[in-house]
Structure 1
Amino acid sequence: MNRVIGIRRHPLKSAAAELVTEAFIGKHGLDGDRTWTCLDADGTIGSAKQPRLWGTLLDVKAFFQPAQGDTPGTVHIEAPGAAPALAGTAEADKAVSAWLGRPVRLTRSAPQQLKRHHWWPDEPGMIPDWAADKTPGDDDIVTAGHDAEGGRFFDYGPVHLVTTGALERLSAEHGREVDPTRFRPNLILDLPEDPEPGQRIAIGPDAVLEVAIPTPRCVIPSLAHGDALADRALLKTLAAHHRIDVPAFGRATCFGLYANVLAVGTVTIGDRVTAAAQ
């Protein structure tokens, strides 16, 4: 029987994943997911898609405490070498700034002009068709994604999925096991194949998702994520085997899936997963 085998949220954009056994999936994604971001002195937000500036943010931990009664939900930040601190306080800003080596401020509010730095990978095949005018290896400043209604700093869809079937094939192509952490999914689903755009996925008793598009990949999967060491060769494997046509966008190197939420509900490790035929 197909089941949920991993649930992860990222309370602070581009920080380490928080592994949980259950989470509520609302209209805007997992409760507490990507609700905070780092704001740099130049007004851009933090993203490890420019690893020179933000790669070490992947070592910062963030933990979401759901709301209880009249007490709103909170996020606690743990930067290496610093005491835990509540997001939104001077202590949290100081800890993350010290770790990154420059002053930043944690925020839940999106700047009026939401921008981020982006590094275009120099591995052939890693630049999508819609960015064909970009130069491999160049730094860029691009518009960042934001769900204003839900207050979420996600790049495209509210939920990001990977499947065990796709991970097994990628590991075989790459010649060694690929840790799903590299792709920063919200859910790891035990499915033999990736569902196609438009397919619906029922999870547990209530939640229903609809696949939107395959997830275009950037440099992040090749970076170090905790115990998963940096692996630059992974970009070559992805570009060689996973460059596909993304509906309405063009060709891109993709892995994983973005999904929208059709029905909300709590999901738990071990929940049954059913991908409906189109």
Structure 2
Amino acid sequence: MTEIVGLFRYPLKSARGESVQAVRVEENGLSGDRVWACLDPDDGTVASLKHPGRWGALLRVEVATVGGEVVLRVDGEPAVAGSAKADALLSSLVGRPVRLSRTGRPGARLHRRVPDEAGLIPDWMRHAAPGDDLVTTLDGPAFGGRFFDAAPVHLVSTGRLAALARQLGRDSVPVSRFRPNLVIDAADDPAPGTMLRVGDAVLAVTVPTPRCVVPGLGEGQVDRPLLKTLAAHRQEIRGLGRAACFGSYAHVLGGGELRVGQAVQVA
């Protein structure tokens, strides 16, 4: 039986995720997901791990939702998102002034570093060279002002994770490297056009998830063998071309409560 085995949200974009046992999902994503982001006041861009040189330190920030407030821990020091203290701690962490915002507007932009691994450069960025610094738009704010990259729900399967670990000759690959909302116990990631019914919630799988440098980030050095292996996972995305993909993006057709252990009906 296909079921949910992991649920995650990321209240502060590009910070660590928050594991939950149950959460409501609506058209604009999981409750509390990507509701805050760091903005660079110099150019108004949104902080994103897609440019590790600028924003990689955000992976050290722990996040928890407590009584409706998002509480950050920056190197162990707590602060409530939206406070002057939180802005000061995050500015010190990343080495540049930032301010937290919970208003994502259509047309929002972010800096991204083109991967050194050529296979990770998608066809729609074919004119970019490895190591280039690009500024691209963020599609997610169209979904209720959230700071998603492209879609309100991202999911991966246990089967795909296990296959990747075998390719790498490892016992496992941390799911946190892919920053999904849902982990489902299935042999493979659901294909575009697949409908997933979870209780009252209905998710429509739209496209495979293009990968960038983010899965290679973590504690210590960049995981280059992982990025090299992902670079071989190239798939066609209709209307855009080929890209290294892992996981699936989905839109929400019907809201409802999601729980770990809940059955997923696939059609």
Write out aligned runs for 1:210-225 (5 A): 210-224=204-218
1:149 shift after superposition: 5.0
| Structure 2 partner of 1:22 | 22
Paired with 2:14 and 2:54, the residues of 1 have a C-alpha distance of 12
Q: Does 1:172 align with 2:173?
A: no
Are the aligned partners of 1:11 and 1:32 in contact in 2 as well (CA < 8 Å)?
yes
Partner of 2:229: 237
Whether the 8 Å CA contact 2:106–2:139 is kept in 1: the answer is no
> Is residue 47 from structure 1 mapped to residue 70 from structure 2 by the alignment?
no
Give the one of 192, 199, 220 matched to 1:197. Answer: 192
1:49 Cα deviation from its structure 2 partner: 0.4
What is aligned with 2:247?
256
- Alignment equivalent of 1:161, drawn from 150, 155, 164: 155
Matched, 1:267 2:261: no
Instruction: Go from structure 1 to structure 2 and tell me whether the alpha carbon gap of 1:156 and 1:270 turns closer, same or farther (over 3 Å shift).
Output: same
Please give the alpha-carbon distance, in whole angstroms, between the structure 1 residues aligned to 2:200 and 2:20. 19
Question: Which residue does the alignment assign to 1:181?
Answer: 176
Q: How far apart are the structure 1 equivalents of 2:201 and 2:127?
A: 40
Q: Secondary structure, in 3 states, of the residue corresponding to 1:185?
A: coil
**How many pairs were matched up?**
265
Return the letter of the residue paired with 1:20.
V
SS at match of 2:227: helix
Residue in structure 2 matched with residue 74 of structure 1 by the alignment = 69
Residues 199-222 of structure 1, C-alpha deviations (whole Å, 9 max, x = no match): 10112x211101000000000000
Contact kept, 8 Å, 2:103 with 2:146, in 1: the verdict is no
Q: Percentage identity across aligned positions?
A: 49
Report the CA distance between 1:97 and its aligned residue: 1.2
Aligned-pair CA distance for 1:81: 3.7
Aligned twin of 2:237: 246
* Counterparts in 2 of 1:210 and 1:52: CA distance versus 1, 3 Å: same
Structure-2 change in CA distance of 1:65 and 1:30 (3 Å): farther
Aligned twin of 1:9: 9
Equivalent residue letter for 1:239: A
| 2:93 equivalent to 1:99 | yes
What SS class does the counterpart of residue 124 from structure 2 fall into? helix
Alignment-mate amino acid for residue 200 of structure 1: M
RMSD over aligned Cα atoms = 1.6
Cα distance, 1:189–1:113 mapped onto 2, change above 3 Å: closer
Which letter does structure 1 place at the counterpart of 2:21?
T
In structure 2, how many angstroms separate the alpha carbons of the residues matched to 1:31 and 1:113? 23
Whether the 8 Å contact between 2:82 and 2:101 is mirrored in structure 1 is yes
Gaps of 5+ in 1: 67-72
Give the partner amino acid of 1:87.
A
Distance 2:149 2:104 in 1: 13
Aligned amino acid, residue 180 of structure 1:
V
SS in 1 for 2:141: coil
CA contact 1:223–1:232 (8 Å) conserved in 2 = no
* Paired residue type of 1:245: E
Change (3 A) 1:107 1:190: same
Aligned amino acid, residue 124 of structure 1: A
Q: Helix, strand or coil: the match of 1:125?
A: helix
- In 2, the alpha carbon distance for the partners of 1:243 and 1:13 equals 26
Summarize the Cα distance change of 1:129–1:4 in structure 2 as closer, same or farther, 3 Å threshold: same
With normalisation by structure 2, the TM-score equals 0.95
Residues in 2 aligned to 1:262 and 1:41: alpha-carbon distance in whole angstroms: 36
Report how far residue 64 of structure 1 moved.
2.5
8 Å Cα contact 1:25-1:265 kept in structure 2:
yes
Q: Alpha-carbon deviation of 1:112?
A: 7.2
Cα distance in 2 for partners of 1:53, 1:23 equals: 31
